[in-house]
Structure 1
């Protein structure tokens, strides 16, 4: 067997003319650097070699990637310029000049980043002495925003002065102060860069495209998080158990849900006293109390309180069964249903998956029958009333159960795929 290091590290062909990956091109960039930047998921070694055809292909890929990054930078600069021009007149100073970032604001941002984790952040003697100095008059060519105190409505020409005012006059901590307000909604932020990221969501320009599935994202951060799901490397490990996660946010959520005492969970429902570790869970729960169903199915107009429930419902309109059991011929639309099947029938993952404790809570008032689900009871009641609401789309025959229509279509009309039932 030949040594793989004598072959091209890309195509694995044994060609006489092989280049060392340490080779530098005319722009001063090594082949190894191009490989690492183009395909970072693979561990490239200095001992690797690459043939001339693959070297040419790598140069094309690297040039294309660099050109995309360059155009993305120019595009973002143009968007920032447009956002500056779109700021309302009420937010402009008398000289008519505006900007989202000043030198003072950059200092505040750096300061806030350094003290982000410290809830008891306060002003030291040096900072207090600086605050007592006479405020500097902005240069004529320096752009600035009006910063308004949320407590008393006083306006300041820089975020530094506003922070000084809030800490000294209102006894607020640095983390409580959010000088940068969005002009399109009521959201506020501690620094200008977070505000700029937020504004991108108002513009809703999905210019960051996933290289794996083509889905567009508003910010590059969202794209990076999404692409980590495709790679599924699970590089964020939990120190308390063996589980790994694709993003730091997923790891943080896992620690809150699994390894944190429920009594210390931050979000508390005042109606039923239930606690939640994550705000999105709390918001979804509160919509159940209020009856707010803002997620609507565009096929049947059913409404849901939670987006994930809507996504699960959408699978009922499809006959695609992507989740297949490796031990039998069963196929399922939902991954969790497959996991329950594996645990109940094959005894696999029974210590991981929590099997539902099903109880027949829906009783027929005419006969002794009882059912696990309300929709099953509703279908049963059709047998007592004689009502047949499910119509075959191919003929005039009617049925009291949707499953009977599917059987009828298969046997009478030789149609196996799902057909919209009326």
Structure 2
């Protein structure tokens, strides 16, 4: 807490104290919005960085107006969409076309370690805030840009949301069953992959800065990130020259590796080698299947996967999923129940890994990055109200503050 005289009035300001982490002391200026960028900067925040979210006038980040809201089905005034990926941050509203607000923003940049943005390429340059321009002010700045298609290439200025990228990357076409339509992955995978890789790029650039003393421009594309997750699809393309067909839940190169029907509900079995298949056959009382020429090797099982599934389910459908989970697990074969989100949230494993936390009174997924020597609190600071820290931040990074430190140019 600091107190600064301003005429006869005492003004106090403070910034949020995040949990201790490897990025403690790092100042991040977060211009990102919606999901892709905020997901990446939240990881920095969870790991100790001070993250200041700069929002436009009006309603701020678009996701403040997205549901679901706290208290659904009754509409509330706190968006869970916004809260989940902005916990622990500070908020200031700045109009980056206004001279006074631009000066505050530049004062922030002079002191920042990281600036993150996910505007369409060219937007920051038109505002006068390109990497090259800001690096002149702060050569140590790590400037991270995350966009749909990156800063280069013929599609660089193409507008993109998660489903656009899923459609153009091939993952939407590859998802679903052979007799069904292309299916969007059941989460905003391209947004989230882009956010994770943005975090990776920032961490890498910060590490390089320790040796060189210079910042860098990190350029991440949601499209690139999604392509990098399509390894099986690209394996098939490289091997055959053709796009892979949709195959439902089964694995393209291992069998049995799929969702199977029991007497009451489906569950999952995964045999990644011949030994595990033999153990499975013994556990379900069908030892002869392991010697069947159609199923004796993984390659032959993949070639005859439809017949193998019929043979297995002819036995599995005689007992409940709970029965088979116990029997197959006892045999040492990887097996799992098919859970919904509510069931997964209530697993003891989820609790043990601290993956369902509270932030600002809202339950949400925790931080998956566990680092020895640093706390992983069950209760964290929540997402900020719009411009919640604006007055304090304007004072901290205002012109008078800049004059005192000699940073105004």
Q: TM-score range by the shorter chain?
A: under 0.3
Larger RCO: Structure 1 or Structure 2 (Cα < 8 Å, ≥ 6 residues apart)?
2
Structure number with greater Rg is 1
TM-score normalised to structure 2 length: 0.19
TM-score normalised to structure 1 length: 0.18
